[in-house]
Amino acid sequence: MRLPMHLIEFPADDPERARHFWTGVLGVELVDRSGDEGQGWQTAGGAPTLGVHERGKGPGDTYSLPYFEVDDLEATLRRVGELGGEVIHPGARWAVCRDSEGSPFGLAATT
């Protein structure tokens, strides 16, 4: 079974420093995101995608988040609640949640 890892997102107080760090550590290029991908930078190829964005105050802006790809986002968000987790930022394509132990994670609808 393949783990459906879609994106690993890192918030940064200094985005340029973070881009330099991840580029140097992993040898990847972080390019500007397109409008529908949100703000920040991410790798352009391969999976999972690595993303960096300026730290903010929103639910996905304070900690690094793994995003898992799911076929049916709406049904998966229902299961999160049924299994003792919490949806803290719902969306049509992306959502931020907490698991049953309070750890944050993201979900991404397959495209």
pLDDT tens-digit readout, 59-98 = 677 788 899 989 999 999 999 999 999 999 999 999 999 9
Question: For the whole prediction, is pTM greater than 0.85?
Answer: no
On the question of pLDDT at 49 being above 70, the answer is yes
Neighbours of 80 (CB within 10 A): 21
Residue 39 DSSP class: S
Are residues 68 and 107 in contact, defined by beta-carbon separation less than 8 angstroms?
Answer: yes
Task: Give the amino acid at 91.
Answer: G
